[in-house]
Structures are given as C-alpha cells and as structure tokens.
Amino acid sequence: MARQNKDTKVSKFRLVLIEDQTHKQLWSVRFTKVNFLVTVVTVVVCAAAVFYSIIAFTPIRTFIPGYPDSNARRAAIQNAILADSLENKMKVWEIYAVNLRKVLSGEEPMKIDSLINLGQAASASETGFSEEKDSLLRQQVMEEEQFVLSGQKDRLLPIEGMHFFTPLKGVISQGYDNVVHPFVDITAPANSVVKAALEGTVIFAGWTDAAGYTVQIQHSNDIITIYKHNQKLLKKTGDKVNAGAPIALVGSTGSLSTGDHLHFELWYKGEAVDPTKYINF
C-alpha cells in the first residue's frame, strides 16, 4: 500500500474590508506568510530610501541639530586661513630661535638659504606635500634648450630697470616672506583674467596635485614667473606670449588652495624675489 504524502499545502490568509451595517465586502486580499514578510521589508526599505534622499539632497538637512550651515562653513574657511597664517608666523619664530641659539652659543649663524630649506622641510613634513618639483625648477629651466630666449646680442638690464605688467589686479591676501612664503597670493573674483608679467615663452602649462593648473614662463635676463591655482589655462607649453597677454583664469584648484586667488612667484637668476617691489598689484 502506497504511503500517503504529507500535506504540503501552504497556509493562506485573507484580509477583508467589510461595511459594518450592510456587511458588504468592499476589499479583500489574499496572502501567505512569505508574501507578507516580503511586502513589509520592501515597504521599510523604500521608506528608508525616500527619507534618506530627502535628508541628503534637500535643504531640510540644515535643520538637523549640529549640521553646519553656510555661515558655519564660511567661518570654518576663515578659521583655516587664520590658522595657516598663525602657523607660518610660528615657523618664522621657530627658525629665528634656532639661529639665535646658534649665535648665543658662539656657533656660526645659519645662512638664509639654509633657513629657507629648513622652513620648507618642516612644511613638507607636516602637510605631506613634497616641494621637490619646485626645487628642480631651476634645473629644468637650464635644461630647456629649446626655450632659450636671450642671446649674446641682448642688452642685459638689472631687474630694477625692467617694466613688469601687472598679472592680476586684486588684494594681496598673504605677502612675501623670504623664509616661509617666498611668493605672494592675490585674491580676485573667480575667472578673472591672469596676464603675463613680461614677454616670454611658456615652459610649463599643466596640472599638479598641489598647485592645480599652473603656468611657468621663461623671460629674458634669467627671469621666470609662475602662476598657480588657476581655474583654466589659456596657453600651452611652448607658446610665445607678450607682456599683458591673457594666460589663465583665476580659480582655486590644487590641494593647497583655500579660495579663489593667484599664487604668483617671481624668480631672478635662480632666486625668489619680492614681486611687490617691482609690480603694483
């Protein structure tokens, strides 16, 4: 005699909506335990996704206690700039203390080049940014034989006797310091036109992680100008430019930038000099 199969029927349930007075059936639905669990999980997941989207992509998130609003973010940026300025001042005093200690102990004072290298090394160790590219700039320029601008017939003038075109009209947010900040930062509205300070040849126009979009121009008389943190470049490597020619647009690119500005460097015979002595920004 064959063995009877066990009952494998699935239990089903019905949810019915009935009018109380007439007992008329208005709505009904059948479901199983599995269908009920799947429906509940789907509704919970969809509700969570909708709630997350509302919080993440709408201004409602600003009402969450502790979430920073636009004023808080602006204050944070200003505090970061102030902290960076104070940090630079501390480095200056630290380097000064090292040199003073040497003088008081009868040792020979450190030369200015050593102090600059000490400050750059401390900055690189704290930020993780290597200044090796900048230190190799002079060697790179010397090796760029195809960009030779000066010849034996050129009349060599001292830098004080040259007329520089203002690369950008703006406000100097951080001035020149020959120890920790051998360049100037000029703030200006985004997309303002950056212009070449002198006639020359573009020896580099490209991107670096720290400086963003950068332009380097070789001029006659051993002069190099550098323009960093641009939003867009208008020239490419090898282009000839005239004094006052547009070369880039102001921006805030690169990991070392905290706002729209131009980082401008002026190099003369392999040494960084104060641009404000020769250019009226």
Look up the CATH number of the domain holding residue 208.
Answer: 2.70.70.10
Mean pLDDT value of segment 22-29: 83
Per-residue pLDDT tens digits for 50-106: 988 887 777 777 677 766 666 776 777 778 788 877 877 787 777 777 767 777 676
Supply φ then ψ for residue 207, to 5 degrees. Answer: -115, 140
Mean pLDDT value of segment 218-233: 94
Q: Do 157 and 231 lie in a common domain?
A: yes
Position 60 scores a pLDDT of 74
Q: Which residues contact 243 (CB under 8 A, 6 or more apart)?
A: 164, 165, 196, 197, 198, 199
What whole-number distance in Å separates Cα of residue 229 and Cα of residue 211?
A: 5
Position 159 scores a pLDDT of 80
Residue 18, both tokens: 């009935």
For residues 249 and 191, the answer to whether their CB atoms sit within 8 Å is yes
Mean pLDDT value of segment 134-147: 56
Residue found under tokens 């109380």: 20
164: pLDDT strictly greater than 70? yes
Q: 62-66, 215-219, 261-265: which has the minimum mean pLDDT?
A: 62-66
E strand or H helix at 183, and its extent? Answer: none
pTM, two decimals, is 0.48
19: pLDDT strictly greater than 50? yes
Residue found under tokens 């160790």: 125
What whole-number distance in Å separates Cα of residue 86 and Cα of residue 52?
A: 40
Query: What is the β-pairing status of strands 171-174 and 184-187?
Result: antiparallel
Identify the band that residue 152 occupies on the pLDDT scale cut at 50, 70 and 90. very low
Q: Do 51 and 84 lie in a common domain?
A: no
Angle, helix 70-104 to helix 112-127, in steps of 10 degrees: 140
Position 54 scores a pLDDT of 83
Tell me, yes or no, whether 265 lies in a domain.
Answer: yes
Q: Do 155 and 271 lie in a common domain?
A: yes
Nearest to 227 by CA among 178, 194, 193, 272: 194
Q: Do 183 and 93 lie in a common domain?
A: no
What whole-number distance in Å separates Cα of residue 278 and Cα of residue 156?
A: 17
Length of the chain: 281
Q: 237: domain range? A: 147-277
Q: Do 102 and 193 lie in a common domain?
A: no
- Counting the structural domains of the chain, the total is 3
Per-residue pLDDT tens digits for 165-198: 999 999 999 999 988 899 999 999 999 999 999 9
What whole-number distance in Å separates Cα of residue 81 and Cα of residue 64?
A: 27
